[in-house]
Amino acid sequence: MRALVSVYDKRGIEDLARGLVDLGWELVSSGGTSAALAAAGVPHVEVSELTGAPEMLGGRVKTLHPVVHGGILADRSKPDHVADLEAQGIGPIDLVVCNLYPFSSDPSIELIDVGGPTMVRAAAKNHAHVGVVVSPDAYGDVLAELRADGRLSDATRRRLARDAFAHTAAYDAAIVSWFDAVDAATPGAAPDAAVLPPTLHLTLERAGSLRYGENPHQHGARYRLAGQVSWWDGVVQHAGKELSYLNLFDTDAAWRLVHELAALGRGEAVAIIKHANPCGAALAAGLAEAYQRALDCDPTSAFGGIVAVHGQVTDEVAEVIADGPQADVIVASSYDEAALARLSAKRKATRLLSAPAPEPSGRQLRSLGGSVLVQDADRFLVPRSQWEVVTARAPTDDEWRDLELAWTLCARTTSNAIVVATAGQGVGVGAGQQSRVVAAELAVTKAGERARGGAAASDAFFPFPDGLEVLARGGVAAVVQPGGSIRDAEVVAAADAVGIAMVTAGGERHFRH
């Protein structure tokens, strides 16, 4: 039995090689792997000795040879294949252990491997007779099966072949993405070239199974883009039940929002999310106060929601949260031991997560059966310094601050959306309405008297003055909206008529579906 060993990731390769030699296998190797085996005293044959041809072109050609690929690809069930091997003096290769350079970590033309993928694909194609191993994580199981049975089962070889094709597919996808990035950076490239190339080649790795999908009868799992790191990879769950699909979906929304709020620089931030929409958010001098003010926005909806805390949950903060409604998830930067003990004891079902800051949102995909919608992430592109006052009265300093808070919350609320904020606190959220008027009515109704003197944001322009008039009747003093309606003049006139200060955000709309 003979194995060809050529790996970039050398974790565990010495133990595997020694195990194969102990079982009587002959090893063939090349390049850096051969050097590693030689240094470890593992007997093997150099590929160049096997082929009779030296490595050439700076290493570009070393395994691309009939002696190698004939030995891998021969179908031992076909007499003519066996005869060809005998005629050419080629010995069969029964196992290929090969993994490829992680191209995306340092991409360049010279790191586009040719011989490695060719060997991997050849062995995977001929998996009826040849085993192929691309991951060090599989070495232990492969060696154990060989020791127990003397061979790899048909099922094992098929599973390993599937992993091998996934490995080369991910490698090729990384190369295509690199070409797209280079092309997009080329002078004269189309503005959307980097975001929307002609084809997308995504490799997703399952990072963990979930309790269930959106509903208990649906399966759910979290995948991540191969070669990339998500903030979820750094999450530590300290207590509570297994996470479900919606727990992750809503927690991601909460964690990203609370970091956007903290970036406003107005104090400590807490956000409470329910069904991916904020039902409370606040900025305050301390986290305990910020939580209480966030909860005050809509304590009924906060039940079963997600609490996101931008900072450490101390025992003082935990005491306030524990006295609040049941949360499905609490996510924070960290917890002290007393806080964990308190929350674990009082909220046994609540998942307690600590997490790093979220990575920037990238390309977003949404499936439509056999089609996929693709867009880049929604970001705030027009800074507050470029907002335009369009009414006779300009906002006060306090109103400007609340407008910015309301605008941030509104952009992360399902459309149509209207949000009312006052004194650094969200007080009324109207989310997911077909009518902007109804969204405004919901926002001011939830805010009640707190709307008076507050600021409101609309995620899109007011097509008619009626939505603005609802806010005026609720006592809102300042409004931010994108602007751009053919009836902007009517809306501005309605604001001037009641003394509301209105600013437009340069036409920047923030619909969210």
CA–CA gap between residue 249 and residue 217 (Å, rounded): 17
Rounded to the nearest 5 percent, the helix, strand and coil shares of the chain are 40, 20, 35
Chain centre distance of CA 435: 32
Q: What is the CA radius of gyration of the chain?
A: 30
Supply the angle between the helices 154-185 and 115-125 in degrees, to the nearest 10.
150
Residues 251, 308: contact at Cβ < 8 Å?
yes
Give the pair of three-digit tokens for residue 397: 């300093």
Q: Is 485 helix (H, G, I), strand (E, B) or coil?
A: coil
Q: Is 446 a catalytic residue?
A: no
The 8-class DSSP code of residue 224 comes to: E
Active-site residue, selected from the candidate residues 125, 129, 238, 259: 125
- Quick one: which H or E segment has residue 247? helix 245-262
Q: Is 125 a catalytic residue?
A: yes
227-233 long-range contacts (CB < 8 A, ≥24 apart) are 227/102, 227/104, 227/105, 227/170, 227/174, 227/203, 229/359, 230/359, 231/255, 231/355, 231/356, 231/357, 231/358, 231/359, 232/207, 232/355, 233/207
How far is the CA of 194 from the CAs of 104, 106, 374, in angstroms?
16, 19, 12
Active-site residue, selected from the candidate residues 10, 129, 275, 346: 275
* Active site positions, annotated: 125, 275
